[in-house]
Structure 1
Amino acid sequence: MRVAFVSAETVFHRDTETNRRLQTVVELLDEAGHDVHVYCTQFWDGEHATFEREGLTYHGVSVELEATASFLVRLPFVLARARPDIVHVSAQRPGQVIAASLGATLSRAPIVAEWYGMDGIPTDRWHKLAARSVDRSLVPSELVATWVRELGVSEQAVDPIANPIDVERIRDVEPGDRADVIYARRLDDGANLESLLLALAEHRDRDWRATVIGDGPEREAYERLASDLRIEDRVTFAGDLSLGERIAAYRGAHVFAQTAEHCVFPTEMLWALAAGCVGVVEYHANSSAHELVEGWDRGFRTTSEDELSDAIIEAGGLEYQDVDDEFDEYDLAEVRDRYLTTYRALQDSSGLL
């Protein structure tokens, strides 16, 4: 299948969750043997219009990321010449969705839009027009699906597809040091690590160890809070770790706590749950983390610090595991096949198969 991915900005311009998700899909389809092309603004040196990187072909629709008008004007005609079987566009910028939709029409190809919406999705007329101009909207969670439906998209036109994990890699990594509770996230003003530290401090009389993975501008403040709560000798701030090191830590931990206020998809929590951790989630309106534990017998959803404190104790009473087959459905191949199923259904409905 010939797939045209469209995003003016890529991970090679700026490494963000939104750009990483799209790049993951690009690489999954390429590894499966599909003919994948990325249409973006140029991030490479030189005047050549295309660039090969690790077997993928990137097409420079325009030279400067800031030259939005040039990208949008050229994109429909570039896609029309490419004649892809499917167009997959990042909805990070509504203008490029609309331009890609015109290009898909000219090339007679179905089009899907990838919505991530780190801070919500504006409901202005441009976003509404973008949402109505595609055949299907793809989202990482029900939280983002709700935001997209608020743009006037029907429930049937929105497909939640989770961020994938590599299940085989989890099994290949040896469990690390044991920890009773583990937390992992960038330590910024949305981390809300204080909820977990306060909950842990309620149990100073118990024997427990906690690990915090991640770094960021609020790390020193959280370390001071742990000291003020007199639990600094129980909490290890491990800083940034590689994925392999994080997997080892998750396989050695008993409980993973998710307390962040903003999260469109809890990828780190998913790695931890698949690595056997019991999941404890503090519910927040702009976080989808609770979706992973709803209806699961090793998951707890809490709505207050008291509930969080109690859930940590209850979760600690469950059996320790270092892998959980429950989450095999989030494996790379499974998620890739969900994208392909959507593509083929759209081709079939449009009579292009």
Structure 2
Amino acid sequence: MRIAFVSMFTEQLRADGATRRMRRVAERLAAHGHDVSVLCAQWWEGDVPEFEQEGVNYVAVTETPSATTFASKVPFALRRVKPDVIHATNSPPTQVTGAKTAARLLRVPVVVDWWAEREGDSRGASKRAARGAKRVVTPSQMVKTTVREFGVSEDAVRVVPESIDFDLIREAETDDRADILYSRHLDQYANVESFFLALAELRDKDWRAAVVGDGPERAQAEQTAADLRIDDRVEFLGELPPEEFVPIMKGAHVFAQTAAVEPFATPLLWALASGCVGIVEYQARSSAHELVVNCDRGARVTSPQELADEISAAAGHSQESLNEAFASYDHDDVIRRYETIYEDAVDDYGFF
């Protein structure tokens, strides 16, 4: 199948949850034998209009990111690619409108992958982007609710979560340097303070903690740990690839999820699959609690004090290094869900 991704931003140009998701899906589809193109703003050097990486053909629609210019040019780029299905990311929403214009001429369906609105995306433009797509894919029920509020029908929305390398978890060694873990990009939404406040409540207990991740708020997080006088028991490990953080997760007993904004809590998923007891502090703009619903090794809390209590209660759970209940989140299983959505969208399009 010829699949054309439409995304002005790519991970190489602007790394965030949406672009990481798009890159992973595009590369996995290419590995499954599909002809995959990404129509984007140019992120590579030189005058070449196209650039191939990891089996994916990147096509420059514009030389630099400009939502208006990109939206006006993307229909012409799509006509040259001639895809069987168009996969457009939701932001900026004008690129979805441009993709739909081309789709009508090419008589192919548009699937919109909805992660989150970015700063500057107008609600009206987002509503237009959500409506009229053959399918809208979201990473969680929380994001699905957002899309439904734009007027998209229940039947048009499919929840496809983020994915993990479950074979890596099965085969990895165990690193027991930490009992309690936190992992996330340390930005203004990380809310690592709740994690540290809970640990401070437990200073009379015997524990070791680690923070996996980096970002603009790391220095402030380190200062908070020092102010609470727990910095001698908290290790900041920075950004780590899965090959390095999975052993640490397999060796830990508890994973704490406190971030204020999370369309999908991927580090929590890795931790749960690695046998951790997952404790989620409920946040209105986070879907993390969805992963621990009906999970024997999971709990939801609403405050640092409750988080501390649940960390203590987690001692009642056995130490585990693998949870087969999360095997369905493996990369290959999740990419097959995308393939099914594309096939259904193409089949349905034939009826109209």
TM-score of the superposition, structure 2-length normalised? 0.94
How much is the aligned-residue C-alpha RMSD, in angstroms?
1.9
* Alignment partner, residue 27 of structure 1: 27
* Structure 1 residue 42 corresponds to structure 2 residue 42: yes
Could you tell me which runs of 5 or more consecutive residues in structure 2 were left unpaired when the two chains were aligned: none
- Name the CA distance, whole Å, in 2 between partners of 1:227 and 1:37: 48
Alpha-carbon displacement from aligned partner over 1:40-73 (angstroms, at most 9, x marks no partner): 222233333222223321222222223x443322
Could you tell me which runs of 5 or more consecutive residues in structure 1 were left unpaired when the two chains were aligned: none
* Structure 1 residue 114 corresponds to structure 2 residue 113: yes
1:119-138 superposed matches below 5 A: 124-138=123-137
Q: Secondary structure at the match of 2:232?
A: coil
* Alignment partner, residue 94 of structure 1: 93
Q: Are the equivalent residues in 1 in contact too, given 2:5–2:86 (CA < 8 A)?
A: yes
Q: Secondary structure at the match of 1:52?
A: strand
> CA, structure 1 residues 52+237, in 2 after alignment: closer, same or farther (shift >3 Å)?
closer
Q: Are the equivalent residues in 1 in contact too, given 2:186–2:214 (CA < 8 A)?
A: yes
* Alignment partner, residue 263 of structure 2: 264
> CA, structure 1 residues 129+258, in 2 after alignment: closer, same or farther (shift >3 Å)?
same
* Alignment partner, residue 17 of structure 2: 17
- Name the CA distance, whole Å, in 2 between partners of 1:338 and 1:2: 17
Alpha-carbon displacement from aligned partner over 1:85-133 (angstroms, at most 9, x marks no partner): 1110111111110110111111111110111116699662211111113
- Name the CA distance, whole Å, in 2 between partners of 1:220 and 1:103: 47
How far apart are residue 319 of structure 1 and its match? 0.8
1:36-75 superposed matches below 5 A: 36-66=36-66, 68-75=67-74
> CA, structure 1 residues 43+223, in 2 after alignment: closer, same or farther (shift >3 Å)?
closer
Q: Are the equivalent residues in 2 in contact too, given 1:76–1:106 (CA < 8 A)?
A: no
How far apart are residue 218 of structure 1 and its match? 3.2
Alpha-carbon displacement from aligned partner over 1:267-326 (angstroms, at most 9, x marks no partner): 111111111111000000011110100111110000122221111111232011111111
* Alignment partner, residue 184 of structure 2: 185
- Name the CA distance, whole Å, in 2 between partners of 1:215 and 1:35: 35
Q: Name the aligned partner's letter for residue 171 of structure 2.
A: D
How far apart are residue 82 of structure 1 and its match? 2.8
* Alignment partner, residue 167 of structure 1: 166
- Name the CA distance, whole Å, in 1 between partners of 2:189 and 2:90: 24
Q: Name the aligned partner's letter for residue 43 of structure 2.
A: F
Q: Secondary structure at the match of 1:233?
A: helix
* Alignment partner, residue 319 of structure 1: 318
Q: Which moved more, 1:257-266 or 1:226-235?
A: 226-235
- Name the CA distance, whole Å, in 2 between partners of 1:220 and 1:81: 48
- Name the CA distance, whole Å, in 2 between partners of 1:220 and 1:125: 38
How far apart are residue 194 of structure 1 and its match? 1.7
* Alignment partner, residue 343 of structure 1: 342
- Name the CA distance, whole Å, in 2 between partners of 1:88 and 1:172: 33
- Name the CA distance, whole Å, in 2 between partners of 1:15 and 1:71: 19
Q: Are the equivalent residues in 1 in contact too, given 2:90–2:117 (CA < 8 A)?
A: no
* Structure 1 residue 195 corresponds to structure 2 residue 184: no
How far apart are residue 207 of structure 1 and its match? 1.6
Q: Are the equivalent residues in 2 in contact too, given 1:8–1:40 (CA < 8 A)?
A: yes
Percent of counterpart pairs with the same letter? 47
